Every structure is written in structure tokens, then in C-alpha cells.
């Protein structure tokens, strides 16, 4: 039934729409063509007037009598202005803005240097056209064209100005238009109407040139209009536009009814067919699709067991999709259960590994402590003690991972704070009064970062305590870590004797320690620097990235 309805309505609907569009396009094309041709014709005539005025000004400016001023200059300007009825006045100004002469003007000196437009003229090399103004000497409403003049060496040498009579220009436009339903105006982009052949509504002159637009006046009459540029807008130049407008025919005329019928009939047919299609689609498809969507959202939320929708009365295609979703939910539920069990086993195994590694490290430390206590050689005992401290730091990493339950990351504040507690200054400096202060930002460290970082810290703090404070010296060691989330900076500084007096240098036996520190920094993908401080003592600085991912076994091999 639905197919028959569509088959019956589609040809009629298509033909009616095409016919209506063709008629509408013909009317619109005729209107657009007429408006555009008329506007371009008027714009061309007015541009020709402005071009002729500019040419007159430039020719007159070449006359030596105009440059000298006086009665001879006035005669020349009067003769030039008499050549065109559009010219209400011509005037010449020097570089200081003083009037040299004018076709009609004051008998006394007159200056315009304080006017805003004079400054614009002085910095331009092209002609400028003003909005409508009242001619002080011609006593008419005019628009002024000003042409800047320049001497041979390029210096500004004043200007020539011409006043175009807007009343004369409006009369010429009215004569050319003729039709009482047509209006013409010259409008500035500042909003000023320089002249209009009749009372017209406000127009938007920012529209595309040649494009037909519509506007209504205060009485409700609709006008179709087009805008053509007369003077291009610039830095100091308001744009001037010719607006050609036609009043549209009144409503409920024959063209209006023809257009309405052409569109209403196919729209009505489409509407009725759409209602029938919508009812069928809603009851047969859409309501079941919403139920399928609700079922999929339940599965997306992890609820694979609840069957909140019954698809027994749904079409066979919908029932097939629902059955596939049910089978998928069962498979996903079983897979999730298997994955959770495997993950739980892996977490237990990983915790056991960390626990056993920690215990093994503790056994090794106990053996080293036992061996150290039996050694009489102080150098050998110090070497074993230093190795024991390194192993203790590694055991601390695995202990933190085991106790926190996070099997791949550890808190920097917890790890390094616990490491600081393990450092005992008396074990390095004997009776010297040395204090250790730690200030650490809390950021997550993965195991690939935590291990070399603790070893780097053991090396630098041990060297600072061992070499920086020979007894009975006193001092302080500061351990500071700062991070912005992506990069971290770890510094170990002391106020001891410094590098030259027993620090990391070769004379103090620190060459191997420096190589180890640099190797650990390279493993952290960072940079390390050890040097003296301006205030005395030594500073070890490590800059490294904060990595959140743990290297896989394949990546480590």
C-alpha cells in the first residue's frame, strides 16, 4: 500500500515542484536582470561624472594661474565650473590648508587646516569623495571631491576640490528612472543618504554587489533592491553606493496565486504521504529500534543478564538482531568473567613476586651485614656497606609496590620519603652534626623509573654525606623533588666542603660514582649534572620525564 501511494504521488509531486521552481526562477531571473542592469547603468553614469570631475581638477591644477592665485585663478575656476551643470564650485588650497582661490568663495583669506578631512587629504595620493555636506559658498547640498597635489620633488602641495550639486544629480536620476514604483539613491556606508529620487526604506549596503535583496518600508511595502559600488571604501574614504530599488507587486495578485498553487499542491501531497510513512515506520521500526538501543546501553553499562525488553511481537528482522545481541551478551559476559579471574590471578602472582623479591633482597642484605661485621679492613667494609644500601633501596621499591597494592606504580613521596628515613648521616660522617631534609612532590612513578631513581638518589646522598662533611664538620643536605606532571627535577645539595675539597672528583675517588650517576640518568631518559654551588658545597641535579607506562618484556629485550 505504501509503495502504491509513493508511486502514485511521486511523478505528480516532482512535476509540480519542477514547474513551480521553473516559473519562480524565470520571474526571479527577470527581476534580477532588470535590477542589475539598471543599477549598473546608473553606477556607470555616476562614475563617469566623478571621473570627469577628477580629470577636470587635475587639468585645472596644471594651470600656472591657479597656482599663483588671485583674480586670474578665480576666472580660470569659474570657466572650468561652467563646463558642467553638476559642478557647484571649484577651489584651490595650498599646502597649509589656505584657500588660494575659488569659483565662488570669500573675499578674505580662509583656512581649513584644522578640518579633519584636510589631514586625510594630505596623507593620500588619490582623490577622496566626501559624504553630503552643505556648501558654504555655493549654498547648496553637495558632495566634495578632493584631489591632493604634489610638487615635482614629491612634497604635498595642497589640493583641488570640486563640489558636486546633489540636487542636480538627483534630478538627473529621477529623469532616467521614470517609473513611479522605482527608486534610486546614493548611500554612504556611514548610513548617510546623499540623494534619493523618492522616499525609500533603509538599505543594507554591505550586501554582495549585484545581488538582489528585499526590505520593507515603514508602510509595509516590500522593495527588491540591488547595490552597486560607486566609490570604493578605504582607510579614509567612506564607501558610496548606488541603490536601485523596485516596489514589489501587492500580494494576492495573479503571479502570487500561481506561485502559491505550484508549491502548495506538491507540499500537501508530500505531507500526506509523509504522515502515512511516519506512522508505518514508527509502529514497525522506530519503536523497536529504541528498544534495541536501550538493550545495547544496558550491555554497554555491563548489565548482560537483565532482559528488560520482549521482542516477541517485533518484526522478524528486529527479532533476529535482538537474538544476536543476546548471544553476544552471553559471550561477552563469559569473556569478562574469564578476564577478571585471570587478572585476579596475575595480581596475586605479581604481589607474590614483589614480596619474594623483597625478602630475597633482605636475605642478601643480612648476609652482607654479617660479612661486613667480620671485616677488619675499613675500605672493604665501606664498600660492602654501600652495596648493602643500594640493595636496601631496591628492596624498598618492591616493598612499596607490595604494600600499596599498585603493582606497576608507586608514589614518589612515599618511596623517596621512606628512602630518606633509611639514610643515617652518622653512618657516613661519624660524630659530625649533619642534618638531612627532604621535600618531595607526590607523583606516580612506574617501576622502570622508580628503580634507577632510587639508585641515583642513594649514590648522590651517599656521596654528599661521605665526602662533603669530614669530621667534625657540621652541615645540611637537602633533597628536593619538583614536578609539573610531565617533567620532574630532583636535586641533592649540601653546604659541605664542595667538589674541589673531597667531592666527586677523581682525587676523591668519585670518578666511578659520577659514571654511575650519569648511567642511571641515561636510563631514566634524563640528564644529570654534578657541580659546586656559589654559596659553597655541592649540588647534584637530575631532570627526567614522568613515564606512566611500564616497558613490556618485548620492549625490554
Average pLDDT of every residue of the chain: 78
pLDDT digits (tens, 9 = 90+) for 115-138: 777 888 888 788 888 888 888 777
- Identify which of 33-47, 57-71, 251-265, 429-443 has the greatest average pLDDT: 57-71
Position with higher pLDDT, 372 vs 455: 455
Confidence of residue 540 (pLDDT cuts 50, 70, 90): very high
Confidence of residue 501 (pLDDT cuts 50, 70, 90): very low
CA dihedral 34, 37, 40, 41 (to 10 degrees): -110
Position with higher pLDDT, 525 vs 340: 525
Indicate the residue among 93, 127, 162 that finishes a domain: 162
Confidence of residue 544 (pLDDT cuts 50, 70, 90): very high
Q: What pTM was estimated for this model as a whole?
A: 0.41
Residue 131 lies in a domain: yes
pLDDT at 545: 93
| Residue in the block written with cell 528488560 | 308
Residue 156 lies in a domain: yes
Looking at the chain, how many residues does it have? 557
- Identify which of 261-275, 377-391, 469-483 has the greatest average pLDDT: 469-483
Cα distances from 484 to residues 235, 415, 461, in angstroms, run 48, 18, 24
Residue 64 lies in a domain: yes
The answer to whether residues 412 and 445 touch, using CB atoms and an 8 Å cutoff, is yes
- Say if strands 87-93 and 99-102 run parallel, antiparallel, or are unpaired: antiparallel
Is 60 exceeded by the pLDDT of residue 195? yes
Residue 69 lies in a domain: yes
Confidence of residue 410 (pLDDT cuts 50, 70, 90): confident
Mean pLDDT (whole number) for 348-371: 71
Count of the separate structural domains present in the chain: 2
Confidence of residue 252 (pLDDT cuts 50, 70, 90): low
What DSSP letter does each residue of 186-227 carry, written as one string? Answer: EEETTS-EEEESS------TTSPTT--EEEE-TT--EEEEEE
Whole-angstrom distance, CA of residue 203 vs CA of residue 216:
10
Whole-angstrom distance, CA of residue 399 vs CA of residue 351:
10
Q: Taking the CA of residue 325 as centre, how many other CA atoms within 13 Å lie in the half-sphere pointing to its CB?
A: 26
Is 90 exceeded by the pLDDT of residue 378? no
pLDDT digits (tens, 9 = 90+) for 133-185: 888 777 888 888 889 998 888 888 888 999 898 888 888 877 777 666 788 88
Position with higher pLDDT, 218 vs 90: 90
Return the SS3 of 482: strand
Mean pLDDT (whole number) for 12-37: 67
CATH code assigned at 490: 3.30.565.10
Indicate the residue among 162, 178, 204 that finishes a domain: 162
Is 50 exceeded by the pLDDT of residue 503? no
> For the chain, what percent of residues have pLDDT higher than 70?
81
Is 70 exceeded by the pLDDT of residue 32? no
Is 70 exceeded by the pLDDT of residue 8? no
Lowest mean pLDDT among 200-209, 253-262, 392-401: 253-262
Residue 167 lies in a domain: no
Lowest mean pLDDT among 189-193, 280-284, 494-498, 513-517: 280-284
Mean pLDDT (whole number) for 61-77: 88
Whose CA is closest to 42, among 225, 232, 176, 180? 176
Mean pLDDT (whole number) for 191-215: 81
Express the helix, strand and coil content of the chain in percent, nearest 5 each: 50, 20, 30
Whole-angstrom distance, CA of residue 405 vs CA of residue 414:
13
Residue 150 lies in a domain: yes
Whole-angstrom distance, CA of residue 524 vs CA of residue 542:
9
Cα distances from 247 to residues 179, 185, 221, 343, in angstroms, run 10, 14, 7, 80
Residue 212 lies in a domain: no
CATH code assigned at 147: 3.30.450.20
Whole-angstrom distance, CA of residue 123 vs CA of residue 139:
29
Is 60 exceeded by the pLDDT of residue 251? no
pLDDT at 490: 93
Whole-angstrom distance, CA of residue 67 vs CA of residue 87:
20
pLDDT at 505: 42
Whole-angstrom distance, CA of residue 338 vs CA of residue 528:
46
Domain residues for the domain of 502 are 408-556
pLDDT digits (tens, 9 = 90+) for 74-116: 899 899 988 888 888 898 988 888 888 888 877 666 778 777 7
pLDDT at 552: 46
Residue 453 lies in a domain: yes
pLDDT digits (tens, 9 = 90+) for 504-528: 443 334 467 788 889 999 999 999 9
| Residue in the block written with cell 539613491 | 185
> For the chain, what percent of residues have pLDDT higher than 90?
7
Indicate the residue among 143, 162, 181 that finishes a domain: 162
pLDDT digits (tens, 9 = 90+) for 280-304: 777 777 787 777 787 777 777 777 6
pLDDT at 506: 38
Confidence of residue 28 (pLDDT cuts 50, 70, 90): low
Beta strands in 405-496 (DSSP E): 409-411, 433-440, 444-446, 474-483, 487-494
Amino acid at each position: 500500500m505504501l509503495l502504491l501511494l509513493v508511486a502514485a504521488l511521486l511523478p505528480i509531486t516532482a512535476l509540480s515542484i519542477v514547474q513551480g521552481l521553473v516559473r519562480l526562477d524565470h520571474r526571479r531571473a527577470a527581476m534580477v536582470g532588470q535590477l542589475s542592469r539598471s543599477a549598473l547603468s546608473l553606477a556607470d553614469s555616476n562614475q563617469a561624472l566623478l571621473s570627469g570631475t577628477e580629470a577636470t581638477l587635475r587639468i585645472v591644477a596644471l594651470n600656472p594661474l591657479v597656482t599663483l592665485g588671485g583674480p586670474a585663478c578665480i576666472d580660470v575656476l569659474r570657466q572650468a565650473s561652467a563646463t558642467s551643470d553638476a559642478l557647484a564650485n571649484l577651489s584651490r588650497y595650498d599646502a597649509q590648508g589656505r584657500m588660494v582661490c575659488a569659483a565662488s568663495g570669500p573675499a578674505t583669506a580662509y583656512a581649513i587646516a584644522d578640518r579633519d578631512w584636510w589631514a586625510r587629504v594630505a596623507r593620500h595620493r588619490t582623490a577622496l569623495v566626501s559624504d553630503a555636506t552643505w556648501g558654504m559658498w555655493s549654498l547648496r547640498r553637495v558632495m566634495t571631491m578632493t584631489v591632493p597635489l604634489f610638487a615635482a620633488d614629491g612634497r604635498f602641495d595642497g589640493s583641488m576640490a570640486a563640489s558636486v550639486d546633489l540636487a542636480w544629480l538627483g534630478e538627473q536620476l529621477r529623469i532616467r528612472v521614470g517609473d513611479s514604483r522605482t527608486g534610486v539613491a546614493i548611500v554612504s556606508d556611514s548610513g548617510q543618504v546623499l540623494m534619493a529620487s523618492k522616499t525609500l526604506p533603509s538599505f543594507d549596503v554591505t550586501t554582495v554587489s549585484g545581488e538582489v535583496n528585499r526590505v520593507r518600508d515603514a508602510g509595509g511595502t516590500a522593495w527588491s533592491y540591488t547595490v552597486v559600488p560607486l566609490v570604493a571604501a578605504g582607510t579614509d574614504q567612506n564607501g558610496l553606493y548606488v541603490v536601485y530599488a523596485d516596489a514589489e507587486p501587492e500580494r494576492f495578485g495573479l503571479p502570487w496565486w500561481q506561485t502559491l498553487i505550484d508549491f502548495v499542491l506538491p507540499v500537501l501531497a508530500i505531507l500526506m504521504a509523509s504522515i502515512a510513512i511516519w506512522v508505518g515506520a514508527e509502529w514497525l521500526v522506530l519503536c523497536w529500534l529504541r528498544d534495541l538501543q536501550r538493550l545495547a546501553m544496558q550491555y554497554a553499562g555491563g548489565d548482560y543478564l537483565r532482559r528488560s525488553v520482549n521482542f516477541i511481537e517485533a518484526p522478524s528482522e528486529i527479532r533476529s538482531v535482538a537474538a544476536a545481541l543476546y548471544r553476544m551478551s552471553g559471550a561477552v559476559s563469559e569473556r569478562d568473567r574469564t578476564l577478571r579471574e585471570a587478572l585476579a590471578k596475575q595480581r596475586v602472582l605479581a604481589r607474590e613476586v614483589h614480596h619474594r623479591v623483597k625478602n630475597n633482597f633482605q636475605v642478601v642484605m643480612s648476609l652482607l651485614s654479617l660479612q661486613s661485621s667480620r671485616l677488619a679492613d675499613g675500605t672493604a667494609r665501606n664498600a660492602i656497606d654501600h652495596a648493602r644500601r643500594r640493595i636496601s633501596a631496591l628492596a624498598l621499591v618492591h616493598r612499596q609496590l607490595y604494600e600499596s597494592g599498585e603493582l606497576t606504580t608507586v608514589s614518589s613521596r612515599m618511596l623517596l620519603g621512606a628512602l630518606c628515613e633509611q639514610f643515617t648521616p652518622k653512618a657516613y660522617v661519624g660524630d659530625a652534626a649533619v642534618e638531612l631534609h627532604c621535600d618531595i612532590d607526590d607523583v606516580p612513578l612506574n617501576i622502570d623509573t622508580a628503580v634507577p631513581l632510587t639508585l641515583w638518589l642513594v649514590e648522590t646522598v651517599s656521596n654528599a654525606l661521605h665526602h662533603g662533611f669530614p669530621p667534625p664538620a657540621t652541615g645540611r643536605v637537602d633533597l628536593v623533588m619538583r614536578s609539573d606532571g610531565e617533567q620532574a627535577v630532583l636535586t641533592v645539595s649540601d653546604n659541605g666542603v664542595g667538589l674541589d675539597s673531597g667531592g666527586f672528583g677523581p682525587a676523591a675517588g668519585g670518578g666511578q660514582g659520577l659514571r654511575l650517576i650519569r648511567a642511571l640518568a641515561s636510563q631514566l631518559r634524563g640528564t644529570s649534572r654534578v657541580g659546586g654551588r656559589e654559596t659553597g658545597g655541592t649540588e647534584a641535579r637530575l631532570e627526567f620525564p614522568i613515564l606512566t607506562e611500564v616497558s613490556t618484556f618485548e620492549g625490554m629485550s
